[in-house]
Amino acid sequence: MTKRILFTGGGSAGHVTVNLALIPLFLAAGWEVTYIGSRNGIESQLIEQIPAVKYVGISTGKLRRYVDMENVKDPFRIVKGVFEAYRAIKKVKPHVVFSKGGFVSVPVVLGAWLNRVPIVIHESDLTPGLANKICAPFATTICTTFPETSAYLNRQKALHVGAIVREQLREGSAATGLALCGFHTGKPVLLFMGGSLGSQRINAMLRTNLLRLVNHFQIVHICGKNQLDQTINHPNYKQFEYVNQELPHVLAMADFVISRAGSNTIFECLALRKPMLLIPLSKQASRGDQILNAQSFQEAGFCEVLLEEEMNDTTFVQAIQHLVSRQAEIQDAMKNSQADAAVNRVVALIEQTTAHR
């Protein structure tokens, strides 16, 4: 009998990357794989690049923590999405659902629960996101990246598995990355990433100080959708809205990474031994999860941290200089970190979950 698994998660690339790490393993093992996401979200763009995966789009509503007129409409979208997910799951008949989180996962998890399908949730951040908090009571197991996360969950459901890192990220070629960007080996490379949606604050800070930095570094800038600045033309600066297949090569080329502090990104950089300057989202713009992620990594010696509230032209450049001066120290700490077999643990858990059906 062919086993069937249904994945969900979306809203940002961070809610898809773990699924992208797992999907090839299940396809290779002969599983039938389906993905439920939003109709126009980034997850649809990423998953539709895998022809063997059937993609189903549903209605979704965003779970906002702030006042917005769309909050009036979104509950109706979520209810509609639950019914659409319920019908899709009833048709697909998966043996298990794996949810990475994000607002699209809520109707899918509820639809799976109504169909009595076991649900495995994955939480990347140190504290659970709003979607996973809503979904947690319906889950069979909740996998965590940080061991501290179990304190915020039902301990009987929580299982610490570690960080799930896409294996293809380890297969990048620095030479290919240099060729892609038109760079050379004479200067160190800084990689700036603001997440799949970009960071206007980091983008602006980098571009304001670009002339101070390009004298010492080559800079590759993943700036986010619709955030390219076509007026900048410098041989030591290359910008992209977003990279997908090129990312392993860009990471292999980079000597240092300046980034937000989303869990998937920072654990991927840890796995690749890339010293980081983390600029977490402020509490005014988030629930503060990135600040906790960054603090945890800073305490372990894996990074430097610059709080957004403290970021200005001077502190920004100084933080980069300090990161560079600590390169050897940070890489030593990274080498001593315990490598995790999280992917294998999650695959084994899912197989065990389906065996009990």
**What are 24-71's pLDDT values in tens digits?**
999 999 999 999 999 988 899 999 999 999 999 998 866 555 445 555
**Helices (H), ranges, the chain:** 17-28, 42-47, 70-92, 105-114, 130-135, 174-181, 200-208, 210-213, 247-253, 263-271, 289-299, 313-325, 327-335, 342-355
User: Could you tell me which residues come within 8 angstroms of residue 171 by beta carbon, excluding any fewer than 6 positions away?
Assistant: 248
Question: Where is mean pLDDT largest: 29-33, 162-166, 264-268, 342-346?
Answer: 29-33
Residue 196: name the closest of 241, 164, 166, 237 by CA.
241
Instruction: Give pLDDT tens digits for 236-258.
Output: 999 999 888 899 999 999 999 99
C-beta atoms surrounding 1 within 10 Å? 4
> CA quadruple 213, 254, 242, 269: dihedral positive or negative?
negative
Q: Is the pLDDT of residue 183 over 90?
A: yes
pLDDT of residue 70: 55
d(CA 102, CA 96): 18
Q: Is the pLDDT of residue 314 over 70?
A: yes
User: First vs last Cα of the chain: how many Å apart?
Assistant: 14
| Domain definitions of the chain by residue range | 4-162+340-355, 168-335
d(CA 112, CA 155): 22
Residue 21: name the closest of 352, 268, 355, 273 by CA.
268
Fold of 4-162+340-355: Rossmann fold (3.40.50)
Q: Is the pLDDT of residue 73 over 80?
A: no
CA 302 → CA 252, 277, 325, 336, distances in Å?
Answer: 18, 9, 14, 10
d(CA 118, CA 160): 18
**What's the chain's average pLDDT?**
91
3-state secondary structure at position 22: helix
pLDDT of residue 61: 67
Measured at the CA of 26, the angle between CA 23 and CA 29, to 5 degrees, comes to 150
Per-residue pLDDT averaged across 307-332, rounded? 96
C-beta atoms surrounding 329 within 10 Å? 11
Query: Is there a common fold for 4-162+340-355 and 168-335?
Result: yes
- Tell me the percentage of the chain whose pLDDT exceeds 90: 73
Q: Is the pLDDT of residue 318 over 80?
A: yes
Least confident among 58-72, 190-204, 334-348: 58-72
Q: Take residue 192 and report the two structure tokens written for it.
A: 């700036």
Least confident among 80-89, 221-230, 287-296, 337-346: 337-346
pLDDT of residue 340: 57
Architecture of domain 168-335: 3-Layer(aba) Sandwich (3.40)
